[in-house]
A and B are shown apart, each in its own frame.
Chain A
Amino acid sequence: MSNNNILLSIQDLTISYGNIKAVKGISFEVNEGEIVTLIGANGAGKSSTLRGISGLVSYRGVISFRGQDLKSISADKIVAKGIAQVPEGRGIFGNLTVLENLKLATWSRKDKQEIRKDYQRVFDIFPRLSERQGQLGGTLSGGEQQMLAVGRALMSRGTMMLLDEPSMGLAPVLVREIFSVLKEINQSGTTILLVEQNANMALQVASRGYVLETGVISHTGTGHELLGDPRVKEAYLGG
């Protein structure tokens, strides 16, 4: 493990909303090229952790990306550093077309030719989006919106992608499709931090996983180990 390149490191992260502590001093890291998953029930602090990394909420502790402390960097600059987030509930702009949604994510990029290639890449991965380029985001189905959300994250060309429950509200067949795309994206060089309630799916694709319980990490291991762990099984995999 020691020869791995740590891309994202979280040390003693604490996030509070008023008097409520959502995340209580967790530490973990994500190495370059990995898929790491944070699993846990509702309210375990998974989304808060992602929001902290993206700079959307204030926190105590240290989050560093490629060795650089992110604390004083604003959310929009963090995207430019290479961290793209697919937010909970997809966060599609329903009043913008599919193409406009994708285009917005290139705000901080200047490389016109590369951007053009990335549109092509997104449309190759999700042909459905190509067919619906001119359609408003709000008229897409849940699965298509999730594809668009992932496509948007690709357009900002992060070296790291954070995903907040991409399986939420999707039919099993679509969940499988999204997860196989995530694996492809990972294989082409994007490091992934995946937050999921669907522990089974997440652990199957993940290199490593962390189990969050009410703001603290209770178990950790490789995806395979956690899938086989009786405690994890009982709590998150339906026995």
Chain B
Amino acid sequence: MTYLLQQVLNALQLGSIYALIALGYTMVYGILTMINFAHGDLFMVGAFFCFLAATFLHLPFVPTLLIAMIGVALLGVLIERFAYKPLRQAPRVSAIITALGVGIFLENFTLVFAPYPQHVPTLIKNTTWVVGGVSISSLQLIIIALSLVLMAFLDFIVRKTMVGMAMRAISWDKAIVPLMGIPLNLVISATFALGTSLGGAAGVMYALAFPVIDPYMGILIGWKAFIAAVVGGIGNIRGAMIGGFILGGVEILVAAFLPSTYRDFVAFTLLLVLLIFRPYGILGKPRPQKV
């Protein structure tokens, strides 16, 4: 029982990181119906911003986090403006290939400056409490709590603010949005900024939890978060959160009870089975035909 509780805690930590990254995929898909395959690499850039701010500027946790989130958001907005926007009328596959190209660019650009794995300094004093046999670290608590706060913040923006309403409107019918007096490009930029900043925050948290980082760290995690977004129902914000936690949970529990090399195999088999029964994901709905 204690062992299980311990694993649940670990699952929440990993799941919240997946969920944050998955949100970036789902938001961009929601408004542009394209998969931003560079998103995993933006997560990696977030981890490197964390490394730079902590190592060279000697900044504490909060400013480091803000620098990484803002830096990645700016990068995300620039990528959209210069790489994706010119392709908005092009076939979707062109945009997707471009996104893959942007990802490869980010990996290799980082590789120039960081040819070896880098060690991220400790930013959060790691205290561990043992409660009823379950050990809880301060880092774990901060990661879970911060992720939940960021997700609640995003949920609030999307549901309650004018910009969030405009984002949802774009996901329904982009062509009509300018007729409401809404500058389409501004809202698309805002969506990229929000989605990628969460990926940047996830990069920081990941770098603190697993402090050895390299330019290729975003690939596998990016794919996994993308799958989490699909499992939750791509385009659906709450779905991405749920998908992230499900994936984190399944991975940790498989590793807890089976040889850990089975982890990805079993986890993804389960997710594939889930998609057979719910092909649009957990919260995804088939889009009603417009008449």
Q: Which positions in A face B, CB cutoff 8 Å? A: 54-56, 74-77, 79-80, 84-85, 87, 89, 91, 93-96, 100, 103-105, 107-108, 138, 152, 156, 169
Partner of B168, one of A76, A93, A138: A93
The answer to whether B169 touches A79 (Cβ under 8 A) is no
The answer to whether B179 touches A87 (Cβ under 8 A) is yes
Give the shortest distance, in Å, between A114 (CB) and chain B (any CB). 15
Give the shortest distance, in Å, between A151 (CB) and chain B (any CB). 12
In Å, the complex CA distance between A152 and B182 comes to 13
CB closest chain-B residue, reference A105: B180
What chain A residues lie within 8 Å of B288 (beta carbons)?
94, 138
In Å, the complex CA distance between A103 and B165 comes to 9
In Å, the complex CA distance between A151 and B178 comes to 17
What chain A residues lie within 8 Å of B57 (beta carbons)?
none
In Å, the complex CA distance between A186 and B168 comes to 32
The answer to whether B180 touches A79 (Cβ under 8 A) is yes
The answer to whether A79 touches B178 (Cβ under 8 A) is yes
In Å, the complex CA distance between A169 and B290 comes to 13
Partner of A156, one of B173, B181, B183: B181
In Å, the complex CA distance between A103 and B161 comes to 11
Give the shortest distance, in Å, between B184 (CB) and chain A (any CB). 7
What chain A residues lie within 8 Å of B290 (beta carbons)?
89, 94
Of A91, A138, A169, most B-chain CB atoms within 10 Å: A91
List, sorted by A's number, 25 A–B pairs whose CB atoms are closer than 8 Å: A55-B178, A74-B183, A76-B180, A76-B181, A76-B183, A76-B184, A80-B181, A84-B179, A85-B179, A91-B173, A91-B176, A91-B179, A93-B169, A93-B173, A94-B288, A94-B290, A95-B169, A95-B171, A95-B172, A96-B168, A96-B169, A103-B165, A104-B165, A104-B180, A107-B162
The answer to whether A54 touches B168 (Cβ under 8 A) is no
The answer to whether A56 touches B173 (Cβ under 8 A) is no
Partner of B179, one of A75, A89, A94, A95: A75
Closest 3 CB pairs of A and B: A79-B181, A75-B178, A91-B176
Of the four ranges (under 10, 10 to 19, 20 to 34, 35 or more), the interface on chain B belongs to 20 to 34
* A interface SS class: loop
Residue B273 is within 8 A (CB to CB) of chain A in the complex? no
Give the shortest distance, in Å, between A18 (CB) and chain B (any CB). 13
CB closest chain-B residue, reference A138: B288
* B interface SS class: helix
In Å, the complex CA distance between A138 and B290 comes to 9
What chain B residues lie within 8 Å of A79 (beta carbons)?
178-181
Partner of B180, one of A56, A77, A156: A156
The answer to whether B172 touches A76 (Cβ under 8 A) is no
Q: A91-B175, A93-B168, A96-B169 are in contact. List 12 more A-B contacts (CB 8 A).
A: A54-B179, A56-B175, A75-B179, A76-B178, A76-B180, A76-B183, A80-B181, A91-B179, A94-B288, A104-B162, A104-B166, A104-B169
Which B62-101 residues sit within 8 Å CB-CB of chain A? none
What chain A residues lie within 8 Å of B168 (beta carbons)?
93, 95-96, 100
Q: From known contacts A100-B165, A104-B162, A138-B288, infer whether A152 and B172 are also in contact, taking CB-CB under 8 Å.
A: no
In Å, the complex CA distance between A28 and B30 comes to 40
CB closest chain-A residue, reference B169: A93
The answer to whether A107 touches B178 (Cβ under 8 A) is no
The answer to whether A103 touches B181 (Cβ under 8 A) is no
Give the shortest distance, in Å, between B284 (CB) and chain A (any CB). 13
What chain A residues lie within 8 Å of B183 (beta carbons)?
74, 76
